[in-house]
Chains A and B, each alone.
Chain A
Amino acid sequence: MSNQRISRVFIRKGIRTSDIMGLVLISLCPPLTAAVWYFGVRALWLCFLSVGVCIAAEALWEICTRRSLTVSDLSAAVTGLLLALSLPVTTPVWALVFADVMAIIVGKQLFGGIGQNIFNPALVGRAALLLGAAGQVINFTGPYDGISSATPLAGENASMAELLTGSHPGSMGETSAVLLILGFGILYCSGAVKLHAPLGMLSAIAVLSLLFGGESFLTGDAPRAVLSGSALFGAFYMVTDYSTTPTTDRGRLIFGVGAGILTFVLRKFGGAREGVCFAILTMNLFAPLIEELTAPAAYGKVGIGYERKHKAMA
């Protein structure tokens, strides 16, 4: 034993970064199952490919920039799977590879790697593909028949039952509400994420859609707004991302509500079916600000409203 005094915490909680990322991967299994069930084996291959490309891109970048390899923390795999599941099954392989590389390199590594990125990498990849190769992606394919539809909001014509089970056109992993809820249930029950952000986002979408979504006031279809498009997928897997959202509970609620409002506005006035994607990317920009504004005052720090609450003795 060295004579030098070492002061550090000698017992640690067992959970590592790779455990959390592994948990996210497990929680993505129900939506993945839905993807394979409704869109065929190609969905599975695309997901595998996407995960592989993301891991390879991260490893290559870290080798080229002489950083230590971080692929074992599984975060690249999560990005790859999230990205693949948020794209339609008809996405050409080259487009998927392009999106993966954009996600890992531009979305994550250019900012400094895991934890440093401002934008959600999977959403960056998706946005890059949408802006760069829109025609390739918006070609949404229905399950079984392969007939494509290009509705502004995928699932607009689907029945409620179809929205719940997932047998309607849309992105691979985003159609089945039931299995998405199941997947998120795994994530929530394990304690990895809290409800603030997803609930904030979904309730904002629901309320705004009910109030202003229809032809006239209060005639909107709130359940449809929540269950269609990427709303559930975004609320469960994108606004619960650690790196790009605030860490405080109140901050997460505000973040979620903000993302919900922007989603509604973009859907209603933007004409883009990509409301969720751009809403969350926009909110990502505000995450550090929200976090700072919602941080509690340190112990003993006398601030506005503080004395009233804590009876600080001076």
Chain B
Amino acid sequence: MDNTLSFGGGLILPKLPDKHLADTSIIHVQPPTVSLAVSEAISVEEGDRVLVGTNIGISRNMAVYSSVSGWVREIKNGRVIIENDTKDECEKPLERPADSPGELIEYMRRISLIGMGGAGFPTAKKYESSTNVKFLLVNACECEPHLSCDRALIANLPRKVIRGARALAQAAGSAAVFICVKHRDLLEILKNSVQDENIRIVMVSKKFPQGCEKQLIASVLRREVPRFRLPKDCGVIVSNCATAAAFAESLDTGLPPVRRIVTIAGEVGKCANILAPCGTSVRYLLDICEGAKEGTVLLSGGAMTGHTADPDKSYVTLATAGYIAVLPPKIKESSCIHCGACARACPSRIVPYKIDAAERSGAEDELEKLCADACISCGCCSYVCPAKRELTIHTSKARRVVMSRKEENK
């Protein structure tokens, strides 16, 4: 065993063939059009000239900025479609905030920064009212087996990640920073780039789901977040390394983050990490990668925790880590044989086969007793199940049942 930091449960997933993985080189693209979701207060009209960083409206209570320069071609179904003139002309930069937590968090809100690990939680919300934060974990573990966008980011721009980590730490009130990686080469790259004593680079295990917030905290800090609490409540904030890099870039340029690295991998012609503006059609990215193979399904996020996506209706957002083409497994559910593999694999130490049975029979009281709320939907249970039961689907459902019952009882 290596002496890297790890957590209980989880899996070592078999290594994928190289042809299903993208390397760390980054391809820059200029799509002909981008399509951005804007639900309200659309501030542009068809034919308007927009620049990179022009505010075009609001979506989910956050300002939406144009990711390219060009003309607004069409506004329909809550989406603004912008024709790209590929000149990348920029708006007037925003004023750089002072290095105080309040101003930095206000700046995060202005630039609509969201968590870029996948969930897309507003970063400002995560950092505000976070008093007494002692530790900031910068998550570069990227445990979904196909993804390598964070790896590409660190390999190419280690200093940006470190600057971003420092800025995030200031926003959190001078917390100690741990940048968590799982590859030795990244560890070396970051160690060579860091001069700050307050920033430590740590190596964590290659187990899945190492990149999950709770598992990362357990691995690095040897602590667990109590049930029904947030990491923030106990002095820890976890942010993705892409979020850190985007924040650093935004502070440098004074422009909101409008691009990210997206991994296209799996059963495609040529896997790649692509730096794409938000709103780029996934179909366009797939075409760059020579298309998905026959019979595959396209997944957003990854093969363990992702969901199916239609390439013609999906567009890159800041929270999009990647799109993966996989051949759907030909499996049929059979009866549980009570082998306990799911419970051993579960990083939350719950018993998926029992929760699965209780959920299917509608025993809601039982679900609470079995701590179904601890489920993180990582997919380990379904992965190992020899009876090929859809344990993750039912355990996640059970989690929502317990959470909503708890809300009602409040």
CB-CB under 8 A from B390, the residues of chain A are: 8
CB A58 to nearest CB in B, in angstroms, measures: 12
CB B306 to nearest CB in A, in angstroms, measures: 7
Contact B226 A313 (CB under 8 A): yes
Given A115-B387, A295-B343: 17 more A-B contacts, CB < 8 Å: A1-B310, A5-B309, A7-B377, A9-B304, A12-B388, A13-B385, A16-B387, A17-B337, A20-B337, A20-B386, A73-B334, A115-B337, A248-B340, A298-B374, A300-B224, A300-B225, A313-B224
Residue in A11, A297, A314 with the greatest tally of chain B CB atoms within 10 Å: A11
Tell me the complex Cα distance, A242–B338, Å. Answer: 6
Type the 1/0 row for A218-248, where 1 means its CB is closer than 8 Å to any CB of B: 0000000000000000000000001100111
Contact A19 B386 (CB under 8 A): yes
Given contacts A6-B307, A8-B393, A12-B382, contact A310 B223 (CB under 8 A): yes
B25 at the interface (CB under 8 A from A): no
Tell me the complex Cα distance, A91–B351, Å. Answer: 42
Contact B340 A242 (CB under 8 A): yes
Binding site of B, secondary structure by majority: helix, strand, loop or mixed? Answer: loop
CB-CB under 8 A from A73, the residues of chain B are: 334
Q: Tell me the residues in window 238-294 of chain A with beta carbons closer than 8 Å to chain B beta carbons.
A: 242-243, 246-248
Binding site of A, secondary structure by majority: helix, strand, loop or mixed? Answer: loop
Tell me the complex Cα distance, A247–B354, Å. Answer: 11
A66 at the interface (CB under 8 A from B): no
B410 at the interface (CB under 8 A from A): no
Contact B226 A11 (CB under 8 A): no
CB-CB under 8 A from A115, the residues of chain B are: 335-338, 387
CB B145 to nearest CB in A, in angstroms, measures: 7
Of B41-49, B75-83, B192-200, B324-332, the one contacting chain A is B324-332
B229 at the interface (CB under 8 A from A): yes
Q: How many residues of A contact B (CB 8 A)?
A: 43
6 cross-chain CB contacts under 8 A: A19-B386, A113-B335, A247-B338, A299-B218, A312-B224, A314-B229
CB-CB under 8 A from B384, the residues of chain A are: 13
A302 at the interface (CB under 8 A from B): yes
Contact B334 A313 (CB under 8 A): no
A-B contacts, CB under 8 A, total: 147
Q: How large is the interface on B (under 10, 10 to 19, 20 to 34, 35 or more residues)?
A: 35 or more
Minimum CB distance partner of B334 in chain A: A17
Type the 1/0 row for B330-372, where 1 means its CB is closer than 8 Å to any CB of A: 0100111111100110011111000000000000000000010
Per a CB cutoff under 8 Å, which of A70, A248, A301 touches B374? Answer: A301
Tell me the complex Cα distance, A72–B344, Å. Answer: 26
B227 at the interface (CB under 8 A from A): yes
Minimum CB distance partner of A12 in chain B: B329
A116 at the interface (CB under 8 A from B): yes
Contact A5 B307 (CB under 8 A): yes
Of B238-246, B275-283, B295-303, the one contacting chain A is B295-303
Contact A298 B371 (CB under 8 A): yes
Contact B386 A299 (CB under 8 A): no
B115 at the interface (CB under 8 A from A): no
B308 at the interface (CB under 8 A from A): yes
Given contacts A17-B387, A300-B225, A300-B374, contact A10 B343 (CB under 8 A): no
B222 at the interface (CB under 8 A from A): yes
B214 at the interface (CB under 8 A from A): yes
CB-CB under 8 A from B297, the residues of chain A are: 1, 6, 10
Per a CB cutoff under 8 Å, which of A17, A114, A299 touches B347? Answer: A299
Type the 1/0 row for A34-76, where 1 means its CB is closer than 8 Å to any CB of B: 0000000000000000000000000000000000001001010
Contact B337 A10 (CB under 8 A): no
Per a CB cutoff under 8 Å, which of A10, A19, A116, A296 touches B299? Answer: A10
CB-CB under 8 A from B234, the residues of chain A are: 313-314
B379 at the interface (CB under 8 A from A): yes
CB A181 to nearest CB in B, in angstroms, measures: 23
Contact B224 A299 (CB under 8 A): yes
Tell me the complex Cα distance, A4–B222, Å. Answer: 40
Type the 1/0 row for B98-138, where 1 means its CB is closer than 8 Å to any CB of A: 00000000000000000000000000000000000000000
